[in-house]
Amino acid sequence: MAESFTVLNPASAPAQGSLTDKKSEFIADICHVDELAQAVSFVETIRERHPKARHVAYAAICGDQGRLAERMSDDGEPSGTAGKPILDVLRANHLTDCVVTVTRYFGGILLGSGGLTRAYSSAASLAVKAADTARIATCVRLRMTVGYPQLDTLTHLIAQSDGVRDNEQYTDVVRLDALIEQSKAQAFSARVIEAFSGSVHAERIGVEHRAIQ
């Protein structure tokens, strides 16, 4: 199964690509979204930004292989010439949790179905190329409790496994979670037991996905 990637650019600062074909301008914007409702909201933001544009076509993908959700719109262009080419670009780049809009300012010359498909696809590809992306990895959430003198050692072990600290709680002891890529989780747990002579164990809490830059 191919790896999945996501776009890191927020809706407030989307990545952009643009091109001109037979006097029609195509402006593509891409950003991260967590759900399709956010994608629709982003599309409306783009419409407001370009009130004189003829079309704002888009495509969005959210979720993982087990629960993938997709949405697209030609926004008045001939069926299959705008939304689908944009969606195909997202699929080809194995992207999820993102939306691409392509805004068209009509230049007065008809492009035909083939020309429209190429223009929308090319504009979307330029935006994807300009975006900051990250690999989505399956990670195990491991929970540990250590004393303050042990914290530096645990922090080092997490860093060695390219993990991320999360949910830290500081009381008389330190309780924290580590997000470790699934392929490295077993070795990490073994290192924790060895480093602390069995006094600290990494409790498996669950599995989740996170972006790895």
Closest CA to 175 of 186, 160, 161, 165: 165
Domains of the chain and CATH, by start? 2-130 (3.30.230.30), 135-210 (3.30.70.240)
Kindly report, residue by residue over 78-130, the tens digit of the pLDDT.
999 999 999 999 999 999 999 999 999 999 999 999 999 999 999 999 999 99
Q: 6-62, pLDDT tens digit by residue?
A: 999 999 999 999 999 999 999 999 999 999 999 999 999 999 999 999 999 999 999
Within 8 A by CB and 6+ apart from 155, the residues are 165
Bridge-based pairing state of the strands 133-146 and 69-73: unpaired
* pTM, two decimal places: 0.82
Of the candidates 213, 187, 189, 184, the residue with the CA atom closest to the CA atom of residue 200:
189
Residue 46 near residue 158 (C-beta atoms within 8 A) = no
pLDDT the model gives residue 65: 66
Per the rule left: phi > 0, alpha: psi between -120 and 50, beta: everything else, 201 is: beta
pLDDT at 66: 67
Structure confidence by residue, pLDDT tens digits, 118-173:
999 999 999 999 999 999 999 999 999 999 999 999 999 999 999 999 999 999 99
CA distance 202 to 189: 6
From 201, 147, 203, select the one nearest 173 (Cα to Cα): 147
Q: What is the pLDDT of residue 1?
A: 53
Q: Residue 115 has which token pair? A: 């020309």
Separation between Cα atoms, residue 50 and residue 44, nearest integer Å: 10
d(CA 104, CA 96): 24
